[in-house]
Amino acid sequence: MSESGKRILVIGATGQIGSEITLELRRRYGKDNVVASWHKKGLSEQLESGPVEHLDATDCQSIKKILSEYSIDTVYHLAAILSAVGEKNPQLAWNVNMSSLYNVLEASREKGGMKVFWPSSIAVFGRGAPRFNTPQDAVLIPSTIYGVTKASGELLCNYYATRFNLDVRSVRYPGIISSETMPGGGTTDYAVEIFYEAIKNKRYSCFVRKDTVLPMMYMPDCTKAAVQIMEADPSDIHCRMAYNVTAMSFSAEELAAEIKKHIKGFEVDYEPDFRQMIADSWPMSLDDDLAREHWGWKPDFNLTTIVVDMIAKLKRKLRA
């Protein structure tokens, strides 16, 4: 048992966010106190540094079993079908995203004394929401099934918090840039792919227009936001839907230009596909004042520092 007494289950520990949050949580709370669960994608050696479990989160009994076996008191539920894959199979996205969230909330309600983190997304916004500096309480009319599951999920979390007093906390993440694990089938994936292709081939064919602007965040800030909201005093959490959080906004072309400063001869062309329409329905920038006021949210990385760090990390990784 850690000093803080936390016993954590990460669902989706092999995903883009899960693979890095799991390691951060193990550093903070002790490796034996963080169970990494995985479903389809196999475990990396790093994740084997602590307890691991195979888990299909669409099966509520399996979640309940792990909560009880490991005396879990905190769940980070990060498993989801993302926006681009979701549009190819909306039925699967609804089923996986909604049933897993419902199961986590139900199993946690039944067990009692639980804390849950579940990420929402900028994808909750769509028609009717201002695209610049999108406010916390803008109308939620998502254009993708992924966004529909995130907006519905926020309502479900809010319901469990108010009706059953379940301590569930959430943030609306922008696009996440990371070096450890590739994102799996989202619209903001170009902001990660571009680094790999710049280093490996000095060429990238980008699937959104060069003037596409989206809010973004680097992985260390992504894990920071999750840990910070989970560590916040309950009296500081006044929103049980999900807090807007962001770090910066830039266009695909601005990202490419920043990478070109470090990789001479890097060339990018732009061939927008179906993901362009999704990007065009999302905010270009977010107003995250509420998260800053309520629980002290503040990102550390900007475009310049992300690009330096990503290139150094990926060069090491791709050489290895």
Which active-site residues does the annotation give? 146
Quote the least distance from Cβ 84 to ligand SER, whole Å: 6
Which residue, 72 or 101, has its beta carbon nearer to ligand SER?
101
User: Shortest approach of ligand SER to residue 283 CB, angstroms?
Assistant: 11
Cβ of residue 61: shortest distance to ligand SER, in angstroms?
29
236/191 Cα distance (integer angstroms): 33
d(CA 186, CA 192): 11
Output the CA–CA distances (angstroms, integers) from residue 37 to 22, 34, 50, 86, 250, in the order listed: 10, 10, 11, 22, 34
Strands 171-173 and 203-206, bridge-based pairing = unpaired
For 146, other C-beta atoms within 10 Å of its C-beta total 28
Q: Which two tokens stand for residue 99?
A: 């049933």
Token pair of 67 as six digits: 């909560």
Q: Which is nearer to ligand SER, 145 or 199 (CB)?
A: 145
Q: How many CB atoms lie within 10 A of CB 273?
A: 9
- Token pair for 241: 């839907």
> Nearest distance from residue 17's CB to ligand SER, in Å?
9
Distance in angstroms between the alpha carbons of the first and the last residue of the chain:
35
Encoded one letter per residue, x for contact with ligand SER by CB under 6 A and - for no contact, window 240-279 reads ----------------------------------------
Tokens (6 digits) for 135: 């406010």
Q: Which of 12, 50, 142, 175 binds ligand SER (CB under 6 A)?
A: 175
For residues 121 and 244, which CB has a smaller minimum distance to ligand SER in the complex? 121
**Binding segment (CB under 6 A) for ligand SER, from list 70-78, 160-168, 186-194, 217-225:** 186-194
d(CA 297, CA 247): 10
Residue 286: φ, ψ to 5°: -120, 145
With CB under 6 A as the contact rule, the residue among 187, 244, 249, 285 that binds ligand SER is 187
66-105 binders of ligand SER (CB under 6 A) = 82-83
- Stretch touching ligand SER by CB under 6 A, among 155-163, 180-188, 223-231, 310-318: 180-188
- Strand 52-54 with 34-38, pairing: parallel
Task: Specify the stretch interacting with ligand SER by CB under 6 A; choose among 107-115, 126-134, 185-193, 215-223.
Answer: 185-193
Q: How many residues bind ligand SER (CB under 6 A)?
A: 10
Cα distance between residue 166 and residue 189, in whole Å:
33
> Pattern 113-152, binding to ligand SER, x per CB under 6 A?
--------x-x----------------------x------
Smallest distance from ligand SER to CB 172, Å: 8
The minimum distance between CB 192 and ligand SER, in angstroms, equals 10
Helix, strand, coil tally for the chain in percent (to 5): 45, 15, 35
* Contact residues for ligand SER, defined by CB under 6 A: 82-83, 121, 123, 146, 173, 175, 186-188
